[in-house]
Amino acid sequence: MATLALAGCGLGAGSTPTHVSLLVSQGFGAQTVVSAGAPKIVGADTVMRMLERNAKVGTLDSGGFVQSINGLAGGGGNDWFYYVNGVQAPKGAAETKLHDGDHVWWDRHDWSATLSIPAVVGSFPEPFVDGFAGRRYPLRIECTQTGSKSCAAVEQVFAGYNLVASLGCVLCSQYNLSLRVLVGPYSTLTADPAADQLTRGPGASGVYARFTRNGATLELLDQSGRVVRSAGAGAGLVAATRFMGQPPVWLVTGTDAAGVAAAVQAFNADTLDGHFALAAIAGAAIPLPDQEP
Amino acid sequence: MNYLRRASPLHATRAGVGAAYCAAMVLAALVIPNPLVLGVLALALLAAGAGARAGGRVARSLYLSVPMAVLIVLVNALVSREGLTVIARLGDAGPLGQLDITLEAVAYGAREALVLIVIIAACALASAAVDPDELLRSLRRVSFRSALTATIATRMVPLLALDARRIGEAQRCRPNPGGRLAVMRAITANALDRSLDVAATLEVRGYGSARRPARAHRPWSRHDLAFAGSALAIAVLALALRTPFSFYPSIHGSFGVRTWVLAAALAFAALAPFTQRRGIMR
């Protein structure tokens, strides 16, 4: 009986997770459909069940696949995807249990450039505060120059959430089960295989921006993966990706030191909120994917 | 092939109309989502079976349909991820994720099970009270060869069952009785022999060159009219008065006056022809 109870079995609805929030949007977070800081949850709901309690949901496959939310139907290269604490869930919403502090984000978007966007920044300070899939992870900030202002500023941001991070240089740790934040000019981060994905576009990284091989130019892409604009010196990027199933790796980077500083400026919950990734160019924060001017 | 002519209004009606009456019941079960109306329809079918003096046959169909119905409820409860009212949590089932049993999934499974029970009961009623030979005879004008083939095939079924029983009994008298496979082999060989004989007989008698038979005029009896009207009324009521009833994400539906009126009207339409008892033996 005790084993069954520990495995989450039992009669009735079960215990309700706390501090859960729900965001439903479309167009990579461009338009909010539902936003609930305290959505209705009854017992040990799954992600799907919580969505059904808080929006009008059409499903397929015996309730395993979301077809429409509040009348916005998927199809034609535009479908519903969901992220829990900024991490694309590996299982269907009907199989994913909610945990305390989960920020669930459903977004209907064009997947012509990539089907998989493994991590997004718009749920910040998640996944650093509550982790993901019901598990918290240690935080490690890896900076090109550990004593730099940018590195210290990023550490300060986390300190604001009472998060203690271990500081180190890029690829100095063999432990790959931490949430890592890489800080520094992109050209100095490419030795990291997760960061290196950013030269290969959204198909590899899930980020609608890419650096040129030498890291001197940042190309912003639209939802189809086409280059909308390019920026040279002073361009910054805040993005998240994953490599080989490891925990998400966040990048606070830029084409140069000024670009990194611009990215650090954008590295806060207010600016990142509801965006998949963010470019910082000439003092402006540009949500990614970029729009045609 | 369990048809036995009995003294009942349904047996007295022409086969086409009797089949249409049972088909209307099936149609009603398929289009009506409300479990209350379906329950009344199932009860009406049992009563119709009793009215047709085939109550035992219809009731015995429950031996087949109820276990299947229970299976449907169980499978739907385990497989469906829909529904908001969790009644039991079965924990994390690995790649299947969180398994929760919801009230809505159980209710939807029960509704589907009820549909199955009604369909099987309607088929049992048709099998017991609709003359299959007459039904196939009425199809001769549509497709003579198909009707003939169907007639012969259906005639073969009880014959093969009889063969199986006879061979099985003979086999049990031997010192080393073989398994069921041996019986199956003997029956299959018998069936092939018989089919060759039948084909040869039909050819010799010139069935291949038969023409479309002339229409046989048979005046409509009061029972024909009553059951035809009943079938039409059941179909129209089911299609026109059905009320919406949804199970997911939560159960929403009416058990109000309109639902009760529909249930009562369907029961009346289904049972009214059985009140006419005159001329039930031809």
Sheet with A218-221, edge to edge strand ranges: A209-211, A218-221, A227-231
Interface mutation vs chain B, best among A53, A56, A97, most B CBs within 10 Å? A97
Handedness of CA A192, A195, A200, A204 (dihedral sign): positive
The two tokens of residue A208 are: 């609608």
Interface mutation vs chain A, best among B82, B90, B102, most A CBs within 10 Å? B82
Summarize the confidence of residues B196-221 as an average pLDDT: 83
Q: Is B96 on the interface with A (CB under 8 A)?
A: yes
Residue B89 to chain A, least CA–CA distance (Å): 5
- DSSP secondary structure string, A27-68? TTTTEEEEEESS----SS-BHHHHHHHHS-EEEETTTTEEEE
Mark which residues 63-82 of B lie under 8 Å from A by CB. 79-82
Interface mutation vs chain B, best among A4, A15, A49, A67, most B CBs within 10 Å? A49
**Residue A10's pLDDT is what?**
75
Q: Do B249 and A57 touch (CB under 8 A)?
A: yes
- DSSP secondary structure string, B135-182? HHHHTTTT-HHHHHHHHHHHHHHHHHHHHHHHHHHHHHTSSS---HHH
The residue behind tokens 């001329």 is B279
Direct distance between the N- and C-terminal alpha carbons of chain A, in angstroms, rounded to an integer = 62
C-alpha distances (whole Å) from A265 to each of A159, A169, A248, B129 are 16, 21, 21, 84
Per the prediction, chain B carries an average pLDDT of 89
Strands (E), chain B: 86-92, 98-102, 245-246, 252-253
**Residue A3's pLDDT is what?**
61
HSE toward the beta carbon, residue A132, CA cutoff 13 A: 29
Helix (H), strand (E) at residue A23: strand A21-26
The residue behind tokens 């409300």 is B34
Q: Which of A8, A11, A92 sits opposite B92 (nearest CB)?
A: A8
Q: Do A92 and B97 touch (CB under 8 A)?
A: yes
Yes or no: say if A34 and A72 are a contact pair by the CB < 8 Å rule. no
Q: What DSSP character marks residue B231?
A: H
Residue A6 to chain B, least CA–CA distance (Å): 9
Q: Do B96 and A64 touch (CB under 8 A)?
A: no
How many residue pairs from chains A and B have C-beta atoms closer than 8 A? 77
Is the pLDDT at B209 greater than 90, yes or no?
Answer: no
pLDDT tens string, chain A, 293 residues long: the values are: 566 555 567 777 778 999 999 999 999 999 999 999 999 999 888 999 999 999 999 988 777 889 999 999 998 899 999 999 999 988 889 888 899 999 999 999 999 999 999 999 999 999 999 999 889 999 999 999 888 899 999 999 999 999 999 888 888 877 778 999 999 999 999 999 999 999 999 999 999 999 998 999 999 999 999 999 999 999 999 999 999 889 999 999 999 999 999 999 999 999 999 999 999 999 899 999 998 76
ipTM of the complex: 0.71
Return the higher-pLDDT residue of B276 and A103. A103
Q: Do B88 and A11 touch (CB under 8 A)?
A: yes
**Residue A1's pLDDT is what?**
57
Does the reported pTM lie above 0.80?
A: no
The residues facing A65 across adjacent strands are A60
Question: pLDDT tens digits for B154-194?
Answer: 778 788 888 888 888 888 888 877 788 888 888 889 889 98
Q: Is B260 on the interface with A (CB under 8 A)?
A: no
- Rounded Cα distance between B269 and B57, Å, is 22
Handedness of CA B72, B78, B79, B84 (dihedral sign): positive
Return the higher-pLDDT residue of A168 and B282. A168
Q: Do A96 and B83 touch (CB under 8 A)?
A: no
Question: pLDDT tens digits for B83-99?
Answer: 899 999 888 777 667 78
Q: Is A291 on the interface with B (CB under 8 A)?
A: no
